[in-house]
Amino acid sequence: MAKAETLTAAEAAALLHLHVKRVQSLARAGELPATRVGRKWLFSRARIEALCGVTRTAPLTRGVELSARNQLRGRILGVRRDGIMAEVRLEIGGQELVSVITRSSVDRLKLRVGQEVLAVIKSTEVMIGKEGTH
């Protein structure tokens, strides 16, 4: 069965790990992409999954390869959370790389200063991966 292209506020809240009232408030403020239909909010599944860092590839675990070739190992220098987004600063080969990802991804991966992670660069996006999170 195919997944619906739109999500209700409750479904979006579950994906974002937020309370449904918070999701509605963010949509009302224009901080979360949504469409109001009558008294209900509808959310694009693709856009919410993109905010969550959900990809259509296999999860990053030992023994699984990604299609992205630009994978750089680095150490986390800092994590700054702000609203639904977070900034992760990495040190890779003596250089600093900054990635902006969702706060829920930082929490789900349990990212902390000093941890070794994998930066996956695909086009203009830098994703963060960590082995052994499952």
Name 125's Cβ contacts closer than 8 Å, sequence gap at least 6. none
At residue 5, does pLDDT exceed 80? yes
Tell if the pTM clears 0.85, that is, is over it: no
Tens digits of residue pLDDT in 50-105: 776 554 444 444 555 666 667 788 899 999 999 999 999 999 878 899 999 999 99
Report the domain count for the chain. 2
> Residue 10 falls within a domain, yes or no?
yes
Q: What is the pLDDT of residue 1?
A: 46
CA 1 from centre of chain: 25
For 95-124, the DSSP string reads EEEEEEEEHHHHHHHT--TT-EEEEEEETT
Domain that holds residue 47: 6-52
Q: Place 35 in a pLDDT band, splitting at 50, 70 and 90.
A: very high
Residue 46 lies in a domain: yes
- Residue 124's pLDDT band (cuts 50, 70, 90): low
